[in-house]
Chains A and B, each alone.
Chain A
C-alpha cells in the first residue's frame, strides 16, 4: 500500500465510482445481516441471548450506516437523506449484498454459523482496512473494529458449544455448514475494477481477505468436528440475488414506501 493519503477530490471519476461500488457492497452486507438478525428479536432461545442478538443486530445496522455515510460523502450527497434513500427506495436488483445474508434465518444453528462466518470475514477486512490510504476508510474501520472483535467472540462461543454439544446440536451445525458453505465464495469475489482500488492502496484485495478468513475459520470448524462440504463454492457477481431478497425488502421498505417524502 502507498503511504499517500487519498482525498476524494483527487480521485478520478472512474476510481471514485469503483470505490462507491465497493462501499455499497460492504454496507449492503451489513444492513441485510443486521436485518436478518433483528428478526430474532423476541424469538431467540433464551432471554439473555435475545438481548445479545438484538444488540448485535443494531451494531451491524450501525456499521451499515457508517459505510453509507462514507458513500454519501464520497459522492457529495446529503448524509442525512442519501442513506435512507439507498435503504428504503432501491429495488432488489440495485442491492449489492451477497446472497448469504439475504437467506432466511433457518434454525439457531444456521443463524449462529452464518453470523460467525460473516463476523470472521468482517474482522479480516477491518484489520486490513486500518492501513487504507483513504483516511475515512481507515478511521471508519478503527471505529467499528472493537465491536466486531466482540461479535466474533460471541458467535465463536456459540459455534463451539453447538458444534461440540449434543448429537442433535452437532447434526444441525453440520447441516447448516453444508447449506452455507457454497455461498461463502461470493463474499471474497472481487468487484469489477477492484485492482484499481488495491493499486491505489484504498482497500485490501478480496482474495487476501478470503485467505485470512479461511485461515481463521477452517481450523475452528475442524476443532468442532465439522466437515467442509465437497460442493465447490460458486463465485457469483453481487447483482445476482435469490428470491428471498425481494420478500425481505418488501417488508423492510413497506412503511417508507407508503410515504416516501415523510420526515422522520
Chain B
C-alpha cells in the first residue's frame, strides 16, 4: 500500500540562542513552511524555545555505529537515503555534485537524542558524513563513539525567522499549566494514596487504593 500521508519532517529545537539544535520528533506537512508551523504547535506549545528547524526526513542520511563498523560509508545498498530521488532538486543552474553545506548531527548515547555538532561542506551526503566523523569524533571518548550520525543538506532545512521568534515562542511562556508541576493532580493523588496502617501491605498492587475502599 502506498503511503497517503504528507511528507514527514524531522523537527529540531533550540532552547536558547547559542544552544545546539536537538531532534525532538517529526510532523507531517505538505511543505516546509507548514511543517514549521505544525512543529511550533506540536513541540513548542509549552517549553522554552528560541528557534526551530524542520527538514524532510527523507533528506537525512543516517548511519548507526554498528552500520559504520560493518560497512564502508556509501557501500552499495547502504549508501543513499531510501527516497533520495524524491528530494527537491539543487538550486537552478547548479548541477548535482556541487559542494554545499551539510548539517551534521550525532547521538552520543542510544537513549539520547540527535544533537547538532557542526556544519561541513561536501559534494555528497557520504562525504559529509566522512568529514563529520573525522572532524568531530575526537570530542567523544575513543571507547564510546557516538551511537549514530545524521547529515542533511542545509538548503533543505526550513528555519524559523528570528524576527518572528516573539510571536512564535513568547506566548507559551505565560501560559498557566505550562509545566507538569503546575498540575495539582500529582499532589492530589499522593494524598489519596497515603494508606491507613497495614493497607499498603494488603493491597500492594493497587497504588490508588484508599483506606476506605
User: B-contacting residues of A (Cβ < 8 Å)?
Assistant: 46-49, 51-52, 55, 59, 146-147, 149-150, 153-154, 157, 161
* Size of B's binding interface in residues, CB under 8 A: 19
Interface residues of B in 149-180 (CB under 8 A from A): 164, 166-168, 170-171
Contact A150 B167 (CB under 8 A): yes
CA distance A237 to B27 in the complex (A): 44
**B6 at the binding interface (Cβ < 8 Å):** yes
Which of A48, A52, A150 has the largest number of chain B CB atoms within 10 A? Answer: A48
CA distance A49 to B39 in the complex (A): 10
12 pairs of residues in contact across A and B, judged by CB atoms under 8 Å: A48-B28, A48-B42, A49-B38, A51-B42, A55-B45, A146-B166, A147-B171, A149-B167, A150-B168, A153-B37, A153-B164, A157-B37
Where chain A touches its partner, the secondary structure class is helix
Contact B170 A146 (CB under 8 A): yes
| Residue in A47, A48, A150, A154 whose beta carbon sits within 8 Å of that of B171 in the complex | A150
In the complex, which residue of chain A has the Cβ closest to the Cβ of B27? Answer: A48
Instruction: Kindly provide the distance from the CB of B35 to the nearest chain A CB, expressed in whole angstroms.
Output: 9
User: A-contacting residues of B (Cβ < 8 Å)?
Assistant: 6, 27-30, 33-34, 37-38, 40-42, 45, 164, 166-168, 170-171
Contact B37 A52 (CB under 8 A): yes
| A147 proximity list for chain B (CB < 8 A) | 167, 171
| Residue in B28, B34, B167 whose beta carbon sits within 8 Å of that of A157 in the complex | B34
Which of B28, B40, B167 has the largest number of chain A CB atoms within 10 A? Answer: B167
| B168 proximity list for chain A (CB < 8 A) | 150
| A49 proximity list for chain B (CB < 8 A) | 38
CA distance A194 to B194 in the complex (A): 59
Contact A48 B41 (CB under 8 A): yes
CA distance A49 to B40 in the complex (A): 11
Instruction: Kindly provide the distance from the CB of B80 to the nearest chain A CB, expressed in whole angstroms.
Output: 28
Contact A46 B6 (CB under 8 A): yes
CA distance A153 to B167 in the complex (A): 10
CA distance A48 to B171 in the complex (A): 19
| A150 proximity list for chain B (CB < 8 A) | 40, 167-168, 171
